[in-house]
Structure 1
Amino acid sequence: MTLRRVNVIILVLLAVAFLIIVQRNLLNLNDLLHKDNPDVEGILPFESELSPDLRLHLARQGEEIPIIITAAEERLGAVIAAINSAYQNSKANVVFTIVTLNETVDHLKYWLGNSKLKNIKHKIVVFNPEILSGKTAGDPEIAKIMKPLTFARFYLPAYIPEAEKVIYLDDDVIVQGDIQDLYDISIKPGHAAAFSDDCDSASVKGIVRGAGNQNNYIGFLDFKKGAIKKLGMKTNTCSFNPGVMIANLTEWKNQNVTQQLEHWMELNAKEDLYSKTLAESITTPPLLIVFYKRHSTIDPMWHVRHLGSTGAGNRYSPQFIKAAKLLHWNGHYKPWGRASSFSNEWDKWYIPDPTGKFNPVRKHAGDS
């Protein structure tokens, strides 16, 4: 037998030995996975293969994506569902800033700490309603129903001073796409924010029937008032919904956006520029004024809205809802309530309250 043949045989034997070792290691790894996760059938530790629950515990690396969301006590379940959906549907290094009131902090901490969201990156910021003193003193009826946290979006740079760009989300949303894609939407130079216009192809289906024309400026502002007339804005300009926003905080600070918003709040308190408009909104109009023709646009599929309005179930097909990147139940009917459309899409992401205080209301077969 020649030396060359001996060398070939030795190489073959080494290759066979190597394959045997690899096979044994894989079998041992499989046994280990079964031991640690008895409900997982033969899943290897690659993130793309893991179930959502397991994916939660993997370390997120790369650029941080800051998300700001408010948390009102009576809607805390909404915040939990929104955070859960945004986190699980992305592999990005998402960091949540949750803006709430002092009386809600303990409940929020307990809910997060006793759920599968306990390991998410987050910080809790307490919003002081005193900052609104003198800025919203208008109609007593409006003041009675005013929710301080609805104005939290006016003060975005205060929550994350070091960030250059953030995503703001209302609590009544569910994120179905990868939040990285929303974050990557470009904001034009000189613009401090991006919104999804109400005249776009997706939201035009969602005009609120019987409540006036709320997809343009005349539905939100009183154009008979002198302060509004002086601005020279066109009444038929497409409005936008600020429930989903990407903000360039550098431009926001350079343009004194917060101060501009506060100016219009104070002026409305004196002159009632928009409190009694068809939309009956006191948070959207200042944003419409300040960002008039000075905002970038978000893909409408990243803000499919009006799901909380009457007849939403007839305006959107189930296929369209599943294709949407983000769902927003703006309107009177919320997905944790009895009469909402597509509440099943919200239920997928809801995590029960360990304290038992928050419970979604569902219509049972015996209800009329």
Structure 2
Amino acid sequence: MLVTEKSPIVIVGCADDNYSMPLATTMSSVIANVSSQRQVVICIIADKITQANKNKILKSLKKPNVIIEWLIPDYAKLTNAIISRHITIASYYRILIPELLPEKYQKAIYLDSDVIVKANIEKLWDTEIADNYVLAVRDMDIDATYVSSSKGLQNYQQLGIAPDCKYFNGGVLVINVEKWRRDNLSQEIINYISNNQQYIRWHDQDAMNAVIAGKWSELDPRWNSQAVIHSYSSWKETSLTEEMYNNVINDSYIVHFSSSAKPWKLGCKHPNRMLFFQYIDLTAWAGWRITFIRKLWLKVKDMMKKKGISFSQA
């Protein structure tokens, strides 16, 4: 796969209307920390985002070195996706990235819309991907470190996957788009979801780990510092070395608010939650905070969601 030094950095994000503001914040953190001379292409797989929020995203990311491309997902391919109160169909769009991207792009970085990038993402982009399908960070939950862990793949033995095969977190991925396309991996993952629904707990992340097992390479864990790492009292409780643990805690490159408690929701106690507000102030949502009135509104939204009624981001 030929990727020249002057190739644009291709970043992909997925969002529905409720994640318009977080997506803009994530992408603004990318732009703020990348060289102004390097072209960045931000591809947004959008699900029913209002024109008003689209305009705010465009305004947020309008920079001379940034190109925005909107991608439309093929909903029919995800009819068997398992969704829930916390997981929407948009969570599965990363499976389709290589199919949706223009043919000229052979590599891409996927970012969840609940991450903040603190470092220059050029360094991640320039990491050699070799013949791997993806580069990723191992899941930091000690119960999901390996496919055989209690939160790993329930059916790893039936699939013939070695118990010591590592399980990755899907929030930050460097994708070998060319290889993924060539091997029709999207369809293979979709087929897995259709045929193994009784075993799937962590949605498309489970499916990707099942299909790509042993065919991905591990990134420096600082590129995906997951929220769970802050629940451990020391490195000895984790799968990381002492040095790696200290790096993730004190010098992470990407902060991932990977629990259900998000900075823009009630109850978030993440030690780096204020980073989100630092970067939201670079967007068209600048000044957004959880005020008293908004707290009341969020409580109402939460109650209504439990009854199956959804609202756009306020």
TM (norm. structure 2) is 0.77
Instruction: Report what 1:37 is aligned to.
Output: none
One-letter amino acid matched to 2:277:
D
The 1:86–1:73 alpha-carbon spacing in structure 2 relative to 1, beyond 3 Å, is: same
Secondary structure of the structure 1 residue equivalent to 2:269? coil
Which amino acid is 2:53 matched to?
L
Specify which of 47, 51, 69 is matched with residue 123 of structure 1.
Answer: 69
Does the CA contact (< 8 Å) of 2:28 and 2:60 recur in 1? no
The one-letter amino acid paired with 2:153 is L
In the other structure, the counterpart of 1:220 is 152
Q: Shift of residue 311 of structure 1? A: 5.4
1:234 is aligned to 2:162: yes
* Corresponding residue number in structure 2 for 1:293: 214
| Contact preservation (8 Å) 1:321, 1:327 | no
2:166 partner SS = coil
Question: What does 1:170-319 align with in structure 2 at a 5 Å threshold?
Answer: 170-189=112-131, 191-198=132-139, 203=140, 207=141, 213-218=143-148, 219-223=151-155, 228-269=156-197, 272-274=198-200, 280-305=201-226, 307=227, 309=228, 312=231
1:104 match: secondary structure: coil
Matching residue of 1:337: 265
Task: Indicate the percent of aligned positions where both proteins have the same amino acid.
Answer: 19
The residue identity in structure 2 corresponding to 1:149 is A
Q: 1:149 aligns with which of 90, 114, 137?
A: 90
Once the two structures are overlaid, the 10-residue window that deviates more, 332-341 or 91-100, is 332-341
Task: After TM superposition, give the deviation of residue 143 of structure 1 in Å.
Answer: 5.3
The 1:340–1:259 alpha-carbon spacing in structure 2 relative to 1, beyond 3 Å, is same
Deviations 1:312-335 (A, max 9, x none): 496799985552111111111112
1:71 to 15, 21, 30: 15
After TM superposition, give the deviation of residue 291 of structure 1 in Å. 1.2
Deviation at 1:231, TM superposition (A): 2.2
Offset at residue 69 of structure 1 (A): 0.5
The CA distance in 2 between the partners of 1:313 and 1:127, in whole Å, is 38
Q: Is the 2:13–2:110 Cα contact (8 Å) retained in structure 1?
A: yes
SS at match of 2:56: helix
How far did residue 359 of structure 1 move?
Answer: 4.7
Change (3 A) 1:145 1:128: farther
Separation in structure 1 between the aligned mates of residue 24 and residue 246 of structure 2, nearest angstrom: 24
CA RMSD of aligned residues (A): 3.2
Contact kept in structure 2, 1:337 and 1:362, CA below 8 Å: no
Question: 1:331 is matched by which residue type in structure 2?
Answer: S
Question: Residue 168 of structure 1 aligns with which residue?
Answer: 110
Give yes or no for the alignment of 1:96 onto 2:26. Answer: no
Relative to structure 1, the CA distance from residue 197 to residue 264 in structure 2 (aligned partners, 3 Å threshold; closer, same or farther) is same
Residues 321, 110 of structure 1: alpha-carbon distance in 2 compared, 3 angstrom cutoff: farther
Tell me the residue number matched to 1:348: 278
Contact 2:189 2:208 in 1 (8 A): yes
| 1: CA distance, partners of 2:220 / 2:282 | 32
Does structure 1 retain, via aligned residues, the 8 Å contact 2:25–2:276? yes
Secondary structure of the residue aligned to 2:280 is coil
State the 1:362 CA deviation: 6.2
Unaligned runs of at least 5 residues, structure 2:
236-244, 297-314
Q: Deviations over 1:16-63 (max 9, x none)?
A: xxxxxxxxxxxxxxxxxxxxxxxxxxxxxxxxxxxxxxxxxxxxx932
Distance in 2, Cα, partners of 1:126 & 1:288: 25
1:361 corresponding residue in structure 2:
290
> 1:110 is matched with which residue: 50, 55, 71?
55
**SS of residue in 2 equivalent to 1:337:** coil
Return closer, same or farther for 1:75/1:144 CA change in 2, 3 Å cut-off: closer
Deviation at 1:155, TM superposition (A): 0.9
1:81 maps onto 2:81 in alignment: no
- Counterparts in 2 of 1:79 and 1:347: CA distance versus 1, 3 Å: same
1:318/1:359 Cα in 2 relative to 1: closer, same or farther (>3 Å)?
Answer: farther
**Helix, strand or coil: the match of 1:243?**
strand
Task: Report the Cα distance in structure 1 between the residues aligned to 2:77 and 2:289, rounded to whole angstroms.
Answer: 32
Give the match's secondary structure for 2:203.
coil
Rounded Cα–Cα distance in structure 1 between residues aligned with 2:170 and 2:78? 19
Displacement of 1:121 in angstroms is 1.2
